[in-house]
A and B are shown apart, each in its own frame.
Chain A
Amino acid sequence: MKRHCLAAAIAVLASGGARSETLLLGVNATLSGGGAIWGEGMLGAARAMADRVNEGGGVKIGDKTYTIDLKVYDDRYRPQDAVTAMDRLINDDGVKVVVGPMGSASTVATQARSTEAKVITLTMGFTPKAIGSALPYAFRPTITTTEFTGPQLAWVGAKLSPKRVRALLPNDETGQSVGASQKEAYKAIGVDLQLDFFDRERVDFVPVLTRILSQSDVLEIGGNSPTTAGLIIKQARELGYKGPILVTGGDVTAELVKVSGKQAAEGTYVHLPLDSGYAETAGYIRDFEAKYRKPVNGHNAFSFAGLQMLLEAMKRAGSVSDTTRIAAELEKVSAFPTIVGKAGWTGRERYGIDHQIDVPFYIGQIRDGVAVKVATCSYKSCE
């Protein structure tokens, strides 16, 4: 009797193993603390893709059909934790594809391990060091300050003709990286941008605003979290500042308006990574928010677009594990329809490798609490 039971159990296990193929997808992002809003976006994208594939019966790659299983780890916005999470994904879980890392320092800290293990990463790190010719498995499916600041400021410069611009930025990896890009981009339009850094936890900006607002005709606050940007706008308007405010970075509008109020935010120019008028984008946002009861931010939409491109590359490579072939196919994906528009890869000139997503982006102006598209941009110019 015992022998029969054992045989039956083995048969069930064997047949089960043959039927279900699983594609493991790792998520290494910040899920607690300050950067959690962005990490939650990345996790949301991975969940949405897994649910979409699994509810549709799986994705056919080669001659097998795969369902997606997620392995999710929090890096607590610390590079050492990101390394531990990456180590666990690679060595303990055997993951070959990771959504993340999120922060610039985490991205740089984990590169040696992911490259050595030939693990494909879809990073959201804004640092120029996030992708490069020595990193054949690292892709960046989001538009960074380096890409959008130049064309956006050229457009804004032509429109506003600023002479004196002051920027307020957090004194951390994001602030420093964004500040360097902004300084370069403003220099290109003939403006010597003055940078003022503050502690990320700061909430009272009245002293610093009192000092700098009299010395500037445009206030630049790109690179701040939506909450901080909203606080700065609110306090600047309360101090009587009536000049233009630019937020050249991140998808910040909804949270920003919540903090600053519609009236204070009116007229603010914002970077608009998503065009909610584009049918695919609007459909994704609507479905996601209805199903998961959470808002879609830039990290969410671009991570999802990156996964769409990755699955296409896996189909073309006919494999979920041969990451060298998958990376080669992923590089070739061009004008591919994603939820953020037709996407491909660029970046060889700047980074030495075409691993930077190439999609249109936009300039918006906040009107009655909503960002309205006022220009469409490519990496060359905005019109």
Chain B
Amino acid sequence: MRRSALLLALAAAVIALIPVVAPNLFYVHLAIVTCLNVMFVLGLAVIARVGQLSMGHAGFGLLGGYVSALLAMNLGLPVPLGLLAATLAAAATAALLGWIILRLRGVYFVLVAFSFGQIVVLLALGMEDITQGANGLVNVPAPAVFGYLLNTKTAFYPLAVAAAALVGTGVWLLFRSPFGDAMAAIAENPRLTESSGVDTHVYQVVAFSIGSGIAGFAGALSTHYFQFISPDSFTFWDSVSYLTMLVVGGRVGVWGPILGAVVLTPLPELLRSTQGLQHVLYGAVLILVLLFLRDGLVGLPARLRGLRRTSAPHPILEHSPERPS
């Protein structure tokens, strides 16, 4: 417990110091994008907790982004209210959609969720009068807190960290609750869970709504940070990226998704100057993790401990007189 608290304090100190110690503002930008991705991946983790895989996750981000941007630009709604509306809009859409499609499992749900993401992109492209079509919405207002406009990287960074921490804490509490246990049980064996009196369909719909609502919130926050949104802002490939982060970090618990986003957001920057190698890197990391780290990076310490235990000479056998020389 003390070790966890110490690690948490250390992480908090590093996060707080980033704007001070970062060589330049680009690294602050990268830290903000990491926080945004942490939220997206945590949302996906909530859906994965009930054994489902949403390939339309970015679609909810796009929906949230447009809702918040349009409310702020057309109705002058304050950004915090826009963020709330975006979260609710994404969650409500997911609830409606989920009520119908969550009776499907496996590849069927993946396909329908993928289709939803594509439909949102096509709607954003087609509803030109509202969304400005492919050119997107420009000059989306930056958020303001107590009258202080967060339109610079250093000003926005604390908000991004606070939002990621809020989402992280919420998901952590959810996973630790009896509701979270039921979610995990559904992923493990839905029929057995149902026979224990749990309405698995309702639980799945709620999990899908929460996860997609988080994506809507993250999409909206991202839109106010970039001050721009277009149909290309959140596409199928973003859903693939979030999924890769989740698998690489670890699908179980809260730390896996966070670790996945923290590692895989800055990693492609090392290869941005190369042509196409970023995609190869993503693919290679995903394959390696699936092959050798089924629990993701978060399971690495336990795996290393296990390896050490199996490779260390057995203390009794080492001194046994029967041991062959």
Contacts and interface: CB of A to CB of B under 8 A. Distances in A.
B275 interface: yes
B275 A36 contact: yes
A322 interface: no
Contacts of B269: 84, 88
A13 B20 CA distance: 29
Given A79-B233, A105-B136, A173-B232, A32 B122 contact: no
A68 interface: no
Contacts of A127: 135
Interface of B: 23-27, 29-30, 33, 122, 125-126, 128, 133-136, 138-139, 222, 226-228, 230-233, 235, 237, 269, 272-276, 278-279
Interface stretch (A69-77, A229-237, A356-364): A69-77
B122 A171 contact: yes
Contacts of B278: 32, 74, 76
B164 to A, nearest CB: 17
19 contacts: A31-B275, A32-B275, A36-B276, A71-B273, A73-B272, A79-B136, A80-B226, A84-B272, A90-B26, A91-B29, A103-B232, A104-B134, A112-B228, A127-B135, A129-B135, A172-B231, A176-B125, A176-B134, A177-B134
A76 B25 CA distance: 22
Contacts of A84: 29-30, 33, 269, 272
Interface string A91-131: 11000000000011100110110000000000000010100
Contacts, number: 106
Given A74-B278, A176-B125, A83 B226 contact: yes
A79 B232 contact: yes
Contacts of A90: 26
A92 B22 CA distance: 10
Nearest to A109: B228
Interface in A115-150: 127, 129
A79 B228 contact: yes
B128 A105 contact: no
A111 B232 CA distance: 17
How many A residues are at the interface, by size bracket?
35 or more
A95 to B, nearest CB: 11
Interface string A337-367: 0000000000000000000000000000000
B273 A73 contact: yes
B46 to A, nearest CB: 23
Contact of A112 (B30, B227, B230, B237): B227
Nearest to A39: B275
Given A73-B273, A105-B135, A173-B134, A32 B26 contact: no
A78 interface: yes
**Cβ-closest 3 pairs across A and B:** A173-B134, A32-B276, A91-B26
Nearest to A28: B272
A85 interface: yes
A41 interface: no
Contacts of B134: 104-105, 172-177
A111 B235 CA distance: 22
A78 B139 CA distance: 18
A240 to B, nearest CB: 32
B274 A129 contact: no
Contacts of A87: 25-26, 29
Nearest to B276: A32
A73 B231 CA distance: 22
Contacts of B30: 84
Contacts of B274: 74
Interface centre among B125, B126, B273, B276 (most CB of A within 10 A): B273
A340 to B, nearest CB: 26
Nearest to B22: A91
B227 to A, nearest CB: 6
B136 A108 contact: yes
Contacts of A111: 138
B101 to A, nearest CB: 22
Contact of B26 (A88, A103, A129, A171): A88
Interface centre among A83, A90, A105, A175 (most CB of B within 10 A): A105
A128 to B, nearest CB: 9
Contacts of A77: 232
Contacts of A177: 134-135
